[in-house]
Amino acid sequence: MKYMFLSDIHGSIGRLERALDFYAAEHCDMLLLLGDIINYGPRNRIPDDINPAAVAARLNAMSSDIVAVRGNCDSEVDQMLLKFPIMADYAVVVDGRRRIFITHGHIYNEGNMPVCRHDVFVYGHTHLWKLERHDGCVVCNTGSVTFPKEDREPTFALYDDGVMTIRRLDGSVVSQLTI
């Protein structure tokens, strides 16, 4: 299975469309959304291309391919726009014998790791990508497609057959790690 991980879209239809172009071109099997999908958040500027209704419509059209978790900017009002559940704090996706723990990062993070067994820990929230091994687990922060911090480029993550990759919106590789 090929999984694409997106975090911190914050209502940007343009950034979402660019990421979904890659999703389609790479024939991904599942889109894993790590929260902060529609709302831009009180500490962020308003995206130039903010369009929550368009983001919801675009994602709803592919809802059968989506597993999503709640970010700190997601609310029950956002859930009313979406046809797939977003209110869980985490989910565990299984690929063969590998367990992939997904969360936004505001509850579970590197300082508060979950106790359940997992091989890969994927989160967002900080808007800073990261890909490294830590205590026998691969830790991946996807960064943000809309508001990357520290002058970084917008990024997302891809998991394909035991390989985790951080990518720019044009699909080029930033970092890669075999699990």
Q: Which residues pair with 166 in a beta bridge?
A: 157, 175
- Give the residue ranges of the chain where pLDDT is below 50: none
pLDDT at res. 151: 95
CA atoms of 156 and 95, how far apart (whole Å): 19
Contact 11, 45 (CB under 8 A): no
pLDDT at res. 43: 78
For the chain, the structural domain boundaries read 2-178
43-63: pLDDT as tens digits: 777 888 999 999 999 999 999
The HSE-up count of residue 64 (CA atoms within 13 Å, CB side) is: 1
Domain 2-178, CATH number (from 3.30.420.40, 3.60.21.10, 3.40.50.300, 3.40.50.10890): 3.60.21.10
What's the token pair of residue 176? 């890669």
Q: Which residues pair with 99 in a beta bridge?
A: 94
pLDDT at res. 80: 95
pLDDT at res. 86: 97
pTM summary value: 0.96
- Output the CA–CA distances (angstroms, integers) from residue 131 to 20, 66, 74, 134, 139, in the order listed: 22, 23, 25, 10, 6
Residues 6+ away with beta carbon under 8 Å from 97: none
Helix H or strand E encompassing 139: strand 137-141
